[in-house]
Copies of this chain bind each other. A is one copy, B any other.
């Protein structure tokens, strides 16, 4: 088996600012350079940029797709797993991972953060959702200041997983 850990990268699929795209690519590259497998939802935006970075870093990328058609995977996905489950597959992206890095993102990303936290899988965030309850912040996501640090934190937490 390809030696782990498996790190999921979750984030927005569309209309990404160039800075987020760049960060996702750096995250992917750092995951690959650490010898980890990159798991994601297989589509565009953060997923595509992260896969691109991972391929540049010589790593392996896995895309767990919402639809039934393998062709919907971005071109940097090595292994595409079509599921036909729609957003139900969000939970499978998370379950396939030893740690999650969340970048920016919309509601789907928020669901992946929440599902990971529910399942006890550590989540590192880079410019992503902020959570609160009763007017106070809930600091369940480990905050990173850079792509390199995000991956370093995720690998450290995954190792303890």
Chain B residues contacting A104 (CB-CB under 8 Å) are 133
* Known contacts A1-B73, A87-B118, A106-B118; 5 further A-B pairs (Cβ under 8 A): A62-B79, A83-B96, A107-B117, A107-B140, A130-B131
A75 at the interface (CB under 8 A from B): yes
Interface of A is mostly: mixed
Chain B residues contacting A85 (CB-CB under 8 Å) are 84-85, 88
Give the distance in Å from the alpha carbon of A129 to the alpha carbon of B73 in the complex: 33
- Which A residues contact B (CB, under 8 angstroms)? 1-2, 4, 6, 37, 60, 62, 64, 68, 70, 73, 75-88, 90-92, 95-96, 104, 106-108, 110-111, 113-115, 117-119, 127-135, 138, 140
Give the distance in Å from the alpha carbon of A135 to the alpha carbon of B127 in the complex: 10
Tell me whether A2 and B130 are in contact (CB under 8 A): no
Q: Which residue of B lies closest to A119 (CB)?
A: B87
Chain B residues contacting A140 (CB-CB under 8 Å) are 107
Tell me whether A83 and B79 are in contact (CB under 8 A): no
Tell me whether B132 and A132 are in contact (CB under 8 A): yes
